[in-house]
Amino acid sequence: MLLLSLAVPVWAQSTQDQTEPRPVEQKKAKEKNPERGAAREIGSGAGNVGTGAAKGAGDLAKGTGKGAVSLVTLHPVDAAANVGKGAAGAGKDVGVGAAKGTGKMVKGVGKAIKHLF
């Protein structure tokens, strides 16, 4: 009888543990900093300027190459049009890259100044 009385509380306790809801473990999400630092902003702006210049050089080379082929094949009007398209594309890409890059650099310099004061 003594053995039976010791077994009942253990059994009752184990069923109680099974019916209790377990706490849900929540993973802590790594907090991301939505704003970039001043140095990263300036670096990104410089990258935009460089990318715009590279795309512009590519467009200019492409237009000049097509113009040279048109000129060799005795199509001077097409040659002038191709060189003009290449120059226009180059100007657009360089302008867009410079504008985006300058904007980001100004934003980065503003953040740096704000950080100092």
Give tens-digit pLDDT for 2-56: 444 444 455 445 555 555 555 555 555 566 667 778 999 999 999 999 999 999 9
Could you count the other beta carbons within 10 Å of the beta carbon of residue 73?
10
Say if 35 falls within a structural domain: no
Is residue 55 within 8 A of residue 97, CB to CB? The reply is yes
Indicate the pTM of the whole model.
Answer: 0.63
Summary mean pLDDT of the chain: 82
For 62, the domain range is 51-117
Q: What's the total number of domains in the chain?
A: 1
Say if 32 falls within a structural domain: no
Say if 96 falls within a structural domain: yes
Q: What is the pLDDT of residue 116?
A: 87
Is residue 83 within 8 A of residue 61, CB to CB? The reply is no
Say if 92 falls within a structural domain: yes
Distance CA 37, CA 30 (A): 18
For residue 117, the SS3 value is coil
Say if 77 falls within a structural domain: yes
Say if 67 falls within a structural domain: yes
